[in-house]
């Protein structure tokens, strides 16, 4: 679905939906699979007794008072918005740990000290500053949301000599701004200690979730779930060192081109 949507939004022409093109068939098939999956989730939940199990779908059912179309629409939005980016962040994080064994060792020592063999909980993340700093530094270098949505200027404005006229389209690209040596010292270096101290960069220099009134509503949730994934996996498995990071590929999120190929060893 992501590949099809990316192809549509980056096409130089607006492709009519009625044309029997392969991309249209792929899109219809993907939408049908997603719709059946979501509909099945809340249909099952509607049949269960209230309070039997607490999860996201039950919250949506309660919020929308059982209205199927509203539940389906919200669940679909959450799946599309939160699935790909939340998968890309731990992917790049494991790549960074494989490329920088010193930080991998620090992360393992921290997880073992804080949780031992017990499964990490959300309340543990405050005691896992290394894990969270690794995620935040990965977000700086390889932000899944590598570019933000276009904005249209409502009036003429001058920004440090750059004239932007009313009606111009402006795009902020975190992948570029967060690698700017004017904003971050040794910007191309992977250094999670940046996020273990007080920030020394200007406001809005670091914006992997956007900024302002339209900042990503799932920012805290995304950091929480990926932090728990990182900590839990490292309790059981360790990526083998790799000499070269994969090349980034821009789609709806920033992915490793060709996927991430790592060797792992088990710890327990």
Q: So which residues are the catalytic ones?
A: 85, 209, 216
φ, ψ for residue 256, nearest 5 deg: -70, 130
Is the sign of the CA dihedral 88, 90, 91, 95 positive or negative? positive
CA distance linking residue 95 with residue 244, whole number of Å:
9
| Cα separation, 55 vs 42, whole angstroms | 11
Cα–Cα distance list, 132 to 47, 123, 144 (Å): 39, 13, 16
Indicate if the alpha-carbon torsion angle 257, 2, 25, 41 is positive or negative: positive
- Which helix (DSSP H) or strand (DSSP E) does residue 265 occupy? strand 264-266
Q: What is the C-alpha to C-alpha distance for residues 46 and 68, in angstroms, rounded to an integer?
A: 9
């Amino acid at each position: 679905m992501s590949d099809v949507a990316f192809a549509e939004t980056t096409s130089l022409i607006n492709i009519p939906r009625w044309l029997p093109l392969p991309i249209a068939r792929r899109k219809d098939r993907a939408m049908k699979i997603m719709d059946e999956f979501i509909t099945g989730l809340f249909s099952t939940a509607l049949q269960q007794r209230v309070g039997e199990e607490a999860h996201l779908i039950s919250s949506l059912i309660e919020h929308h008072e059982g209205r199927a179309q509203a539940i389906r629409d919200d669940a679909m939005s959450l799946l599309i918005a939160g699935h790909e980016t939340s998968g890309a962040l731990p992917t790049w994080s494991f790549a960074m740990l494989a490329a920088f064994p010193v930080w991998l060792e620090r992360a393992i020592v921290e997880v073992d000290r804080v949780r031992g063999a017990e499964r990490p909980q959300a309340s543990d993340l405050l005691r896992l500053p290394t894990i969270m700093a690794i995620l935040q530094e990965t977000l700086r270098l390889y932000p899944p949301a590598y570019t933000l949505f276009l904005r249209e200027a409502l009036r003429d404005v001058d920004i440090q000599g750059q004239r932007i006229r009313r009606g111009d389209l402006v795009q902020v690209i975190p992948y570029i701004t967060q690698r700017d040596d004017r904003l971050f010292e040794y910007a191309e270096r992977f250094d999670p200690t940046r996020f273990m101290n007080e920030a020394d960069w200007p406001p809005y220099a670091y914006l992997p979730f956007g900024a302002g009134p339209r900042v990503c509503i799932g920012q805290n949730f995304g950091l929480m779930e990926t932090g728990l994934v990182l900590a839990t996996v490292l309790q059981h498995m360790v990526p083998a060192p790799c000499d070269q990071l994969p090349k980034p590929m821009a789609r709806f999120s920033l992915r490793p081109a060709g996927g991430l190929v790592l060797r792992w060893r088990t710890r327990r």
